[in-house]
Homo-oligomer: A and B are copies of this chain.
Amino acid sequence: VLQTDGIHCHALETERSSCFSVGQKFQLDDVIEAQQFDRDILSAIFEVARDMENIKKTSPDSKLLKGYLMATLFYEPSTRTRLSFESAMRRLGGEVLTTENAREFSSAAKGETLEDTIRTVEGYSDIIVMRHFESGAARRAAATAGIPIINAGDGPGQHPTQALLDVYTIEREIGKLDGIKVGLVGDLANGRTVRSLAYLLAKYKDVKIYFVSPDVVKMKDDIKDYLISMGVDWEESADLVEVASKCDVVYQTRIQKERFGERIDLYEKARGKYIVNQDILNVMPRHAVVLHPLPRLDEITVDVDADPRAAYFRQAKYGLYIRMALLKLLLVGW
């Protein structure tokens, strides 16, 4: 997760106002991993996303991608992510070719390589949004394709648009990214969203991160070491109430049953340990928010939903704007 390869990173170091002018080409050819984005590019993408929030059915911008075709090539189903991208494309006037379950269907089942599939599909579309079960698949696709590739999750690897929307949500809800205190809660070992989020937060100043997780799914050392190298202050805690009382953001995640194999007993124990409920809300600051990448099971109780600080459904909506922004940037530029 933490290697950067320089291929996709051409972010400009010059001042914002001069470097992203309207009509200019986006610096990135593809969206493959969280490591592509530096602070300037994040800030510029968020500005475009903000514009996207204001597009109405009758706005001229609702025709921005008219005539463009996006193919959603999903080797494993993810209805939520697919619908978010397809909605984004349509909200900008573009069209969609859908493949919901490319793995068991058709050419892949006959043994065709990913590269061959990409070379064919790029003949039919202008951009490919791909979800795959293998880490690194999106990078392979991007190396082959002559059109932009967006990684919509490749196995245990990356899910960069989720990482972007998480950071965007924090900026929109809290109003800043520098100086924030964030509690990452739940499955920190396997959750790619919290790993990517920690990685991106390190780009901001004076951030403090609290890790709150059952022992079996603690945050791994690579991220901890990375945060240290970036000068980010972090600590582990077993006390969610205390952490929640100090944080701007409580980012809860689902304990993923599928990671525990036959040890259902360990799963059940881990699952019940840190729940966001009324007790947590009671100690949280008034301006703070609860986030969650969804789907949620019972790690946030449903009575929390009515509290204005429950921001996880707004977070899903912010994901739509981030995806609109990326589609716009990759297809027509700034």
Task: Identify the A interface with B (CB < 8 A).
Answer: 57-58, 62, 66-69, 71, 77-80, 83-84, 86-87, 90-91, 95, 97-102, 105-107, 110-113, 115-117, 119-121, 123-125, 254, 294-297, 302, 313, 316-317, 320
Contacts and interface: CB of A to CB of B under 8 A. Distances in A.
Contacts of A124: 83-84, 86-87, 320
A100 B102 CA distance: 11
B297 A123 contact: no
A186 to B, nearest CB: 14
B79 A295 contact: no
State the oligomeric state as a number of copies: 3
A100 B91 contact: no
Contact of A107 (B58, B106, B295, B320): B295
Contacts of A101: 105
Nearest to A298: B111
A295 B111 contact: yes
A329 to B, nearest CB: 18
A68 B58 CA distance: 11
28 contacts: A57-B68, A58-B67, A69-B87, A71-B83, A77-B106, A79-B107, A80-B107, A80-B120, A83-B124, A83-B125, A87-B97, A90-B95, A90-B97, A98-B98, A99-B100, A100-B100, A100-B105, A101-B105, A110-B295, A110-B297, A111-B295, A112-B294, A112-B295, A115-B302, A117-B295, A119-B316, A120-B294, A123-B320
A69 B97 contact: no
Given A62-B67, A67-B62, A79 B57 contact: no
Contact of A78 (B58, B91, B106, B116): B106
Given A80-B120, A107-B80, A295-B116, A69 B98 contact: no
Contact of A99 (B79, B95, B294): B79
Nearest to A292: B116
A126 B71 CA distance: 22
Given A69-B87, A87-B97, A102 B120 contact: no
Contacts of A317: 123
Given A107-B80, A124-B83, A116 B296 contact: yes
A320 B107 CA distance: 17
A299 to B, nearest CB: 11
Given A110-B295, A112-B295, A320-B124, A105 B83 contact: no
Contacts of A295: 107, 110-112, 116-117
Contacts of A123: 313, 316-317, 320
- Nearest first, the 10 closest Cβ-Cβ pairs linking A and B are A57-B67, A112-B295, A87-B124, A77-B105, A123-B317, A79-B106, A107-B295, A90-B95, A119-B313, A120-B316
A80 B91 CA distance: 26
